[in-house]
């Protein structure tokens, strides 16, 4: 069996999604990439979480062609492939239809950075990428979704590991990280700060985003070259 360790990591990461309340039924997936060996492992399409195992994770090459596995990979695989190709620094990707993230996607709004909880993980607003065109939807839909995300980051000059998440208009959130654990962590934080932002606007519809100086302080103390938050070797 190919890449058993990668399969196990991807299985464990997928099982975290229901644990954190990010998925209902089969509405989500995690993948990870082994760039040295040239493989991606991803959740199989439409399989319930209680039926998953490390062995039924689907293994593909870096173009998304199945190399091992009897099941179909997640239908979102082409989106993952586009992101892995565009951003060699990322190692894991999560997609969910989590309630709060989807709400902002359906509204077509960025998730604003209103405080330090958000700024600790995302260096600024979490962007909402544009809606796909009819041609994109009727073409290679999932691949085009990845391209729209990449286009949005290029347009805004964002770094993938500084803002490790996005929502796609009318669709939902994607997140990523240097590995699958970081991607899941970022997916959880995205959902939480989306909820916090909604509550904040309910309390004060005229609220303004956190001042840049505080945004800088909180993001850079955890992620900058002089970061001092946490313990040595701690990812978060």
Burial class from Cβ neighbours inside 10 Å (0-12, 13-18, 19+) for residue 196 reads: middle
In a domain, 233, yes or no: no
Question: Does 179 participate in catalysis according to the annotation?
Answer: no
Domain that holds residue 177: 4-223
In a domain, 228, yes or no: no
Question: Does 229 participate in catalysis according to the annotation?
Answer: yes
* CATH for 40: 3.40.225.10
CB-side neighbour CA atoms (13 Å) of 205 = 0
For residues 6 and 39, the answer to whether their CB atoms sit within 8 Å is yes
In a domain, 56, yes or no: yes
- pLDDT tens for the 236 residues of the chain, in order: 899 999 999 999 999 999 999 999 999 999 999 999 999 999 999 999 999 999 999 999 999 999 999 999 999 999 999 999 999 999 999 999 999 999 999 999 999 999 999 999 999 999 999 999 999 999 999 999 999 999 999 999 999 999 999 999 999 999 999 999 999 999 999 999 999 999 999 999 999 999 999 999 999 998 877 766 665 655 55
Is the pTM higher than 0.75? The answer reads: yes
For residues 180 and 10, the answer to whether their CB atoms sit within 8 Å is yes
Q: Catalytic one among 61, 63, 199, 229?
A: 229
Count how many domains the chain has. Answer: 1
Q: Catalytic one among 110, 120, 123, 185?
A: 120
């Amino acid at each position: 069996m190919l890449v058993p360790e990668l399969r196990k990591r991807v299985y464990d990461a997928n099982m975290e999604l229901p644990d954190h309340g990010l998925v209902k039924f089969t509405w989500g997936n995690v993948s990870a990439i082994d760039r040295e060996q040239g493989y991606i492992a991803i959740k199989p399409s439409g399989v319930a979480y209680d039926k998953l195992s490390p062995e039924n994770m689907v293994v593909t090459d870096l173009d998304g062609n199945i190399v091992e596995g009897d099941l179909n990979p997640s239908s979102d695989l082409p989106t993952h492939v586009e992101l892995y190709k565009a951003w060699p620094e990322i190692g894991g990707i999560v997609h969910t239809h989590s309630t709060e993230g989807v709400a902002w996607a359906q509204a077509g709004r960025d998730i604003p950075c209103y405080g330090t909880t958000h700024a600790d993980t995302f260096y600024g607003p979490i962007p909402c990428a544009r809606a796909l065109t009819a041609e994109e939807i009727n073409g290679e839909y999932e691949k085009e979704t990845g391209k729209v995300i990449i286009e949005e980051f290029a347009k805004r000059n964002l770094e993938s590991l500084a803002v490790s998440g996005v929502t796609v208009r009318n669709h939902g959130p994607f997140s990523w990280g240097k590995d699958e654990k970081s991607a899941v962590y970022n997916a959880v934080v995205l959902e939480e700060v989306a909820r916090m932002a909604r509550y904040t606007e309910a309390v004060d519809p005229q609220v303004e985003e956190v001042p840049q100086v505080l945004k800088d302080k909180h993001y850079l103390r955890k992620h900058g070259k002089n970061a001092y938050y946490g313990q040595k070797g701690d990812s978060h």
